[in-house]
Structure 1
């Protein structure tokens, strides 16, 4: 029957592996029937919006994610539902069974079985969809599979606690398929999705009493932690909102492990403390995170802003904060270590005074391929030094090449200075921005420089909050007002400025305000033509007259109220 002894041995090995796999499968299935409370890590925690969405679900209306359009659910619901605007995001949250997590949170809060029964109904509708051989691009994708695993374990524990009859074998086979997906390194990425994958895998390890599943998730999630945060504690996915989310994920994982007498380790826990403090440094005076990258206007009312100047080169961000006469806040983005959630926002700023935003980023719109999403991620949606009709490249190895990076910074008792560069253009163009903050005067001096072998139109773009009123005081001096606050922007050595009004067609001057939502705003632009540019703009909290301003390659020299200020560049 067999041609040689080697083939016989291979057949025996294959048979042994099948027997071992079947025995492991049976052992896991037996242990699976007794899920304990400490095996559960709820995906959704109860908050003020949970009850709203849970009650809608009871009425057969699913809202996949806050701010999304409602979808009607019935016994013929099509889980391959296509939304007319944002198909990808709707499918991601539908396939994640996020609404089931909301129902379980309401059940845990109120101990009312109706929420649990609806959670079971929706889940088993989805199970029938999958068991029929159907799927979408998001059904077996890392984010939904990881989060869905977490929700399914929570659901099963709750059903068993209430002694509600379920087909345990059906659920086990489904979760076993999840385990196979989560174990496969081909489905793994070392980012926030990978953390979701490993979290689900560790939970399955406990639920199925399978050390291999647990260890795979545990050691990967620790490794991903060190890939995810800078040495200063900043999350490296270019978006403060994701810093907040990923930190909360790791805190939840550590608490979950502690309940099983395990830990991520002292080094990880200590660095998590640095990452937590980092959040308070990023926080604006109004207790919101700056809407940088794929971040919305996240409010963290329970946190207290730390006022200090801070630079994280690896994360590509500087924060200038002062609470003297006014609460001053400016963020400066330049550089990155990963391209995940990275917009073309290098050399860009945001600015607020006393909690009132004046200069913004375009913020997070959605993850679709819509024209507005494409616009939001371009330089045009950001308050940066940029080239007209010319984009730059964001290379994956920028952490090592540092073509786009914060070059230098210094925090003096009288001033703070930071400089960034953008050498990401394929025609050899280089752009530089230096930000100097004079602490006593509460004034920013922004130096914009660029050089190229080709003629370009250099644009200094300020993307304003949509409620900001702009008044021209003279050709290059503008007064910006909002909510009884005022700032002055004054530009030197410029051609005539331009105010660009928001428009949907063609798309320009648009700020995202939520999922697939936006406001039209205004841009204040200063332009310079040629092969090089070297200009200065002042942002002042009060009408301070600068008598002299001299810019050389070595220093910035100013005269204010007869005081001469000389600062090395």
Structure 2
């Protein structure tokens, strides 16, 4: 027995340390809100007030809404085939709303009703009415505040107006009003608030709708200065969630009266967010995959930029420095380089952050060459751990440790911000520089990583230099993840890459070259094998690694 206790103690202490470093950054409201949400699951949900006897739903929009479902078609839905996260399931028509055996996020998507616009009016009413009859109020997936929020907005946008559906929308909004996710003070909270604004406007002057509208607008008033950073980036530092939140801002602007006093704040934020989104989008139209991002979940950059232009009369501008978010871009007619030089996310909400400080993505002539690994799934497991790890990104890992202690599906224990970050541009090119001392705290030996990326347009070169100082012997590796379409020819320390008819050459000046297999996950549920170049040295510190990319 003494042996068992002694053997298990380090794991117990390690888990306790993880929880401590994870929870110490949380706001008191997050902890209290989570406890309250858990208590509601145990004791049951409070009764809702009865809707008014006669309900009418009215929603006016300035321009047509932008709808988005990247997976389904009306024909397949009518045949009972539903596809979410690139996984098909036959649920029948109308659907088996319990979706047995399918992942929680897949079930969430089923209850969002993002696919509703693909159906005829008769089919929209049929499947929505079936949902009402099959999903009574309770602690079920369909009544979780997040899918409830998206469903309320989708039903209001399509102006579902039968007495049964009007009554249900009212009840769903009433339920949401009493179960706002204040303990999730990021995109979840804004989606809750958006739904309250939509429902409050849809039932204007009826029952408690004015309370929903007022609460939703107050949340946006309070959260916008926090969640939309001064450079226009969304504070969870994910281009995908940035695009999702931008669509939310544009939708709200679309339904508020032109004279509404909150419009100046919302419009200015949406303009800045549009500029940011256009800037972090590759020439092929795909967003950078930093942190939790994939290519298909959010509306495309092109569609959102057009939505903003139609609604705000704003022509998006490309910018190159985003110090608050931590993104920096070098672009010329031949290349697009984007660098992640920021923190992994807000300390109290790093759920969608990856250990990817100083990573980058690189395209040549609209073709991707060096890529982020993306996201395969949110479910805890091997692929979730891989996607969030430092080794899955184009930066330096030491002793194969991560820059941050990502664990579970969305948790982060110890995490450390980059320092001395700078980005300068002139007529010759640009230079990025930054310092990361987190390894010294995670590993010890006073380890500090400094990275410099210099772009020289006239030479058609990108020079990457990594300096690692400290003491002791360590394995230092600088990773490069190649797009699956890129072929590789290696001769000594020279690596020729080709994607279609486009070529570039990587020349390693300092460090030994090795290659290994990796995963590229540009869409949920999709993983493609790719080649990963590791430029490494196992030696006493200090050490320098460097390579030049010529295009």
Task: Please give the range of the TM-score, normalised by the shorter of the 2 chains.
Answer: 0.7 to 0.9
Q: How does 1:435-454 map to 2 (within 5 A)?
A: 435-454=453-472
SS of alignment partner, residue 461 of structure 1: strand
* Post-superposition offset of 1:76: 8.8
Matches within 5 A, 1:27-176: 29-30=52-53, 33-38=55-60, 45=67, 52-63=72-83, 65=84, 67-73=86-92, 77=96, 79=98, 81-83=100-102, 87-96=103-112, 98=113, 101-103=114-116, 105-106=117-118, 112-127=120-135, 130-131=136-137, 133=138, 135-136=139-140, 138-153=141-156, 157-160=159-162, 166=164, 172-176=170-174
> Aligned residue for 1:328?
335
Equivalent in 175, 178, 200 of residue 176 of structure 2:
178
Superposed, which structure 2 residues align to 1:140-539 within 5 Å? 140-153=143-156, 157-160=159-162, 166=164, 172-182=170-180, 187-206=182-201, 207=203, 208=206, 210-258=209-257, 261-297=259-295, 300-301=301-302, 310-323=320-333, 327-336=334-343, 337-338=345-346, 339-393=350-404, 403-405=417-419, 407-425=421-439, 426-428=442-444, 429-473=447-491, 475-494=492-511, 496-500=512-516, 502=517, 509-529=518-538, 530-539=540-549
Q: Structure 1's 192 and 263: CA in aligned 2 closer, same or farther, altered over 3 A?
A: farther
Aligned residue for 1:82, secondary structure, equals coil
Aligned residues: 475
Superposed CA deviations along residues 332-362 of structure 1, whole A, max 9, x for unmatched, are 1122242241111111111111011111010
State the 1:211 CA deviation. Answer: 2.8
Q: For 2:451, what is the secondary structure of its paired residue?
A: strand
Q: Per the alignment, do residues 406 and 466 of structure 1 end up closer, same or farther by CA in structure 2, a change over 3 Å counting? A: farther
| Corresponding residue SS for 1:418 | strand
**Structure 1 residue 192: deviation in Å?**
1.4
Please say if residues 198 and 218 of structure 1, whose CA atoms lie closer than 8 Å, have aligned partners that are also in contact: yes
Q: For the residues of structure 2 that align with 1:301 and 1:40, how far apart are their CA atoms?
A: 20
Deviation for aligned residue 1:378:
0.6
- State the match for 2:309 in structure 1: none
What do the CA deviations read for 1:71-94 (whole angstroms, capped 9, x no partner)? 3236793516222xxx12112213
Runs of 5+ unmatched residues, structure 2: 1-45, 307-314
Cα offset, 1:394, TM superposition:
6.1
The answer (yes or no) to whether the contact 1:423–1:430 under 8 Å persists in 2 is: yes
Give unpaired runs (5+ residues) of structure 1: 1-20, 503-508, 542-569
**How far, CA to CA, are the matches of 2:232 and 2:353 in structure 1?**
18
TM-score scaled by length of structure 2:
0.78
**Cα distance per residue 1:421-452 (max 9 Å; x no partner):** 22223234321211111121121111101123
Determine the C-alpha separation between the residues in 2 that align with 1:202 and 1:283: 30
Counterparts of 1:74 and 1:314, CA distance in 2: 48
Q: Which has the higher contact order (CA 8 A, sep 6+)?
A: 2
Do the aligned partners of residues 167 and 493 (structure 1) sit closer, same or farther apart at CA in structure 2, a change above 3 Å counting?
Answer: closer
For each residue in 1:209-243, what CA deviation from the matched residue of structure 2 results, as whole angstroms up to 9, or x when unmatched?
53332211101112222212221111222221222
State the 1:537 CA deviation.
1.1
Contact 2:341/2:421 (8 A) holds in 1: no
Local SS of the residue matching 1:435? strand
